[in-house]
Amino acid sequence: MDNFIDYYIKKTKRYFKKNSKARIIVALLMIAAIALLSVSIFLLTRSGLESTQIGDDPFMPQAAPLYIYQIFLLIVGLLIFASTVIFTLFSFFNRDNLDHWIMATPRYDTLSWVKFFRALIDSSWPLIILAIPLLLAVKSVFEISFGLFLFTLLVVVAFSLFCSASAVVLIFLISSVMRKMKIKSFSILAFTIVAVTALLGAVAWSRTVAMDINQIFQIAEGDAATLDAMKSNFAVLPSHFPAMTLHYVQTEKIGAALMPGGLTFALFLAVVFLFSIIKKKFLYFWQVFQEGSFEAKAEREVKKSPLSGKKFPRTPEQVIFKKERLNSIRSPKNIFWFSFLFILMLVQVGVINLLERYVGIAGPEAVSGLTSAIQLGVIIFFTAALILRFIFPSFSQEGNTSWLIGSTPIDLKTIFNTKYLFYCLVLVPASILAVILYAVPLAGGSEALLLILFAVVGVLTLTMLGLSMGVVFVNFETDDPQKLSTSAPGIGFTLISLIYGGATAVIIDRILTLQNPLPIFFFLLLSFLIYKISKSKALRSLDDMEFV
Amino acid sequence: MLKITNLQKKFGDFEAVSDINLEVEKGNFFSIIGPNGSGKTTIIKSILGLLTPEEGEITINGESIVDNPIKAKSKMGYIPDEPKIWNHITGEEFLYFIGALYGMKKEEVESKIPKLLDHFNLSGIEKKYFENYSRGNKQKFTILGALLHTPKLILVDEPIVGLDPDSAEKAMHLLSEFTKEGGTVFMATHTLQVAEEFSDKVGILHDGRLTETGSIDELRKKMGKEDASLIEIYHNFN
């Protein structure tokens, strides 16, 4: 294990030795982007928690924060679980950099622990962006001591690790069953995992969105105002334990907090114990994956060429469009990431809706315009995340095949325009769907068209910005989307998108609140300028592009 | 068919190739030989329009690659040294894509593919994804892709790297047949035996400059040794 830790430390040091200034700037920009998000979440949750403490009713100041903890931690858990599923499927058994480790180390099972811890660490981002800001907000609003804050932090960290470890164990368990049944199909593995994840999502859904909020809060006349209904509603979910810990700490019932806190630790340790048993099969799984019959590089045949029939491309645009389509839908990794980010967007928007439902219950007037604005901002933000993962790296990813696109009689501008069209056709409907599902019902039908217009313009603008920045800062040295999207230009794109998304939310809020249409023109002008400037820069870069 | 005049290409301050002048006639098999880093790939990439030269002019059948790249590229086929293709495309689809990019009709592509696949016994694996092919099979598909649209000029960068001996021989014979039917081949290689066996003319490149060009017999005469092998010629002019 020491060797592996040493390896990762040296690897990190080596990373900063080359182009150290640029890489330090990238690291700082990443920290800034994460800090910006965390601070926003902190401010949002703090103001939410503060609003629960207003009024004379003694019940709501306890019930409402508990509801927020339950929803928030449930989302954190689901995000960590989904993130680990993706990591485990595509990195745990990755051949890159592993061959020599598997061959060289006499105790190859150490590698399974290393990968296990990496899965836990790599998937812990919701802890930093969502959970810790929530804890800080709780500390700030309820003035809990540093020691108790530390205790809640440890419990929430244990909960995060439990969610992550559960995902790894789940994949190992499914693989183990498949092994016994002599099934080696990656599709079956992926399908089963998606089905199990969907089942977990359905349980979460049944306990949140599908629940009558009046029943949870025991609003009905004659009901005694207790937390029992809420507790029994969320008790089946593992997020209930850290949520209850927070609740007891907030209400100064420290002794009571020990039980759910301890249970959270116990859950984590149980899953780790399970992993320590099941990991013995790691080498077998790894070998099967390397045979190419199980993992992402499964040997597959296309029975019928999709180029047959009327679909045979006749123009360069059609060829590139078809290529983009086939490469996208046939890459399990791309499909997983797209679904993951898209579902994440829906979940995030759903959470705001759930909180908005509480606002309606708790007393303050429902500020539907503001909620719609925040929803639109969230949709634009997640669209930007999709753009960063898929569109920003797309030109750089052509580096390996640059000989093909560069040597055939096709204009690079045609490729650029076709890529833009392709990605817009995917993202525009996705964003419209998100707006219709969530923002429109809140703002009412009259504002529907306006919100959809903003979403579509936002997507068209950011897609052009992402694609253009990918061309201007093209990097043919790697085709790894993770490396490309965490480069300085990638983070630059993230920051511009955050500012643009924030500005869009503010503008729509002004329009809906003040009933003043003037900001629409400002938004359209801003979007047009971003679109025009980025496109012209990209086309100029294409003129000078070389495929070294 | 191919004319290069005063070609110069720099990467920053480094002069990769300079003062390159050569002409390859229709139906000729021209090989450019030289050590690693001598500028072979840079010349090929400049001909293809993948790199933009600082100076000089390159024309393919009279079309300038800088002024009229689409027309010039439509006359060329390319076999790269690294056969990297989009991972989730099958070998068969790759050939269809190439056909479509060069404006071929579907029926035309359909009728040619079985014959092309037979050259390398690839029938039966053409519906698998590129990521599942061995390096050699990937290379075979790129060779077929270059031949599919019957270009006037084929540029080849190390054609037989990664191929088994039988396939290497077949590949070279396919290119040789191509020149006999009126096509032109411009090949960069380290494998001097191959260059000697198939080339009508060779160019010797050293430090980005052409030190000699001509048929092997002409170079032997210049060297003053009638029975000199290409290896001896290469060492003499390098």
B78-135 pLDDT tens trace: 999 888 888 888 899 899 989 988 988 888 988 999 999 998 888 888 888 888 888 8
Which residues contact residue A368 at a Cβ distance below 8 angstroms, ignoring those fewer than 6 apart? Answer: A356, A442, A443, A444
pLDDT classification of B58: cutoffs 50, 70, 90 = very high
pLDDT classification of A537: cutoffs 50, 70, 90 = very high
Residues 426 to 455 of A: which have CB under 8 A from any B CB?
none
Q: How far apart are CA A324 and CA A193, in angstroms?
A: 27
Q: Which one-letter amino acid corresponds to residue B85?
A: I
Percentage of chain A modeled with pLDDT above 90: 22
Q: Is A38 on the interface with B (CB under 8 A)?
A: no
Read off the pLDDT of residues A146-162 as tens digits, 9 standing for 90 and up. 999 999 999 999 999 99
Among the residues of A181-207, which ranges form H helices?
A: 186-207
pLDDT classification of A16: cutoffs 50, 70, 90 = low
User: What are the structure tokens assigned to A142, written together?
Assistant: 């309820």
Among positive and negative, which fits the CA dihedral A528, A534, A537, A540? Answer: negative
Give me the pLDDT at residue A293, please.
Answer: 43
Q: How far apart are CA A388 and CA A385, in angstroms?
A: 5
Helix axes of A412-434 and A316-329: crossing angle, nearest 10 degrees: 50
Q: For A477-501, what is the mean pLDDT?
A: 82
Give, in order, the Cα–Cα distances in Å from A74 to each of A203, A241, A348, A374. 11, 11, 12, 21
Give me the pLDDT at residue A13, please.
Answer: 73
Give me the pLDDT at residue A355, please.
Answer: 64
pLDDT classification of A460: cutoffs 50, 70, 90 = very high
Rounded to two decimals, the pTM is: 0.77
Q: Which one-letter amino acid corresponds to residue A45?
A: T
The dihedral region occupied by A182, where left means phi > 0, alpha psi between -120 and 50, and beta the remainder, is: left
Q: Please choose, from the candidates A519, A501, A414, the residue with its C-alpha nearest in 3D space to the C-alpha of residue A458.
A: A501
Among the partner-chain residues A312, A404, A411, the one whose CB lies closest to the CB of B70 is A411
Question: What ipTM was estimated for this complex?
Answer: 0.87
Give A406's contacts in chain B (Cβ within 8 Å): 48-50
Give B50's contacts in chain A (Cβ within 8 Å): 402-403, 406-407, 546-547
Give me the pLDDT at residue A547, please.
Answer: 80
Read off the pLDDT of residues A23-54 as tens digits, 9 standing for 90 and up. 677 677 777 777 877 887 788 788 778 877 77
User: What are the structure tokens assigned to B149, written together?
Assistant: 């649209």
Q: How many CB atoms lie within 10 A of CB B107?
A: 9
Lowest mean pLDDT among A99-103, A169-173, A437-441, B2-6: A99-103
pLDDT classification of A220: cutoffs 50, 70, 90 = low
Q: Which one-letter amino acid corresponds to residue A42?
A: F
pLDDT above 70 for A447: yes
pLDDT classification of A99: cutoffs 50, 70, 90 = low
Q: How far apart are CA A229 and CA A59, in angstroms?
A: 13
Q: How many CB atoms lie within 10 A of CB A209?
A: 13
pLDDT above 90 for A360: no
- HSE (side-chain half, CA atoms, 13 Å) at B187: 30
Considering A54-58, A120-124, A152-156, A208-212, the range whose residues carry the highest mean pLDDT is A152-156
CB B168 within 8 A of CB B160: yes
Q: How far apart are CA A88 and CA B129, in angstroms?
A: 23
Q: How far apart are CA A405 and CA B81, in angstroms?
A: 15
Whether residue A409 and residue B101 make contact (CB cut-off 8 A), yes or no, is yes
Q: Please choose, from the candidates B51, B46, B76, the residue with its C-alpha nearest in 3D space to the C-alpha of residue B61.
A: B76
Phi, psi of A44, rounded to the nearest 5 degrees: -65, -45
Lowest mean pLDDT among A98-107, A190-199, A314-323, A326-335: A98-107
Disruptive mutation site among B11, B17, B106 for chain A (greatest number of A CBs within 10 Å): B106
CB B76 within 8 A of CB A403: no
Among the residues of chain B, which ranges form H helices?
A: 40-48, 69-73, 91-101, 106-119, 135-148, 165-180, 192-198, 216-223, 230-237
Among positive and negative, which fits the CA dihedral A354, A358, A359, A361? Answer: positive
Whether residue B11 and residue A400 make contact (CB cut-off 8 A), yes or no, is no
* Strand duo B201-206 + B14-24: pairing: unpaired
pLDDT above 70 for A308: no
A518 or A96, which is more confident: A518
Q: Is A107 on the interface with B (CB under 8 A)?
A: no
Which residues contact residue B197 at a Cβ distance below 8 angstroms, ignoring those fewer than 6 apart? Answer: B172
Read off the pLDDT of residues B121-178 as tens digits, 9 standing for 90 and up. 888 888 888 888 888 899 999 999 999 999 999 999 987 877 888 888 899 999 999 9
Whether residue B127 and residue A303 make contact (CB cut-off 8 A), yes or no, is yes
Read off the pLDDT of residues B8-55 as tens digits, 9 standing for 90 and up. 998 888 888 998 999 999 999 999 998 888 899 999 999 999 998 999
Lowest mean pLDDT among A178-182, A352-356, B204-208, B213-217: A352-356
Size of interface A-B (CB pairs under 8 A): 102
Whether residue A327 and residue B87 make contact (CB cut-off 8 A), yes or no, is yes
Q: Please choose, from the candidates B139, B124, B213, the residue with its C-alpha nearest in 3D space to the C-alpha of residue B174.
A: B139
A225 or A547, which is more confident: A547
Give, in order, the Cα–Cα distances in Å from A417 to each of A311, A316, A431. 20, 11, 21
pLDDT above 60 for A298: no
Beta bridge partners of B15: B10
Give me the pLDDT at residue A152, please.
Answer: 95
Among the residues of A88-145, which ranges form H helices?
A: 99-104, 109-122, 125-126, 132-142
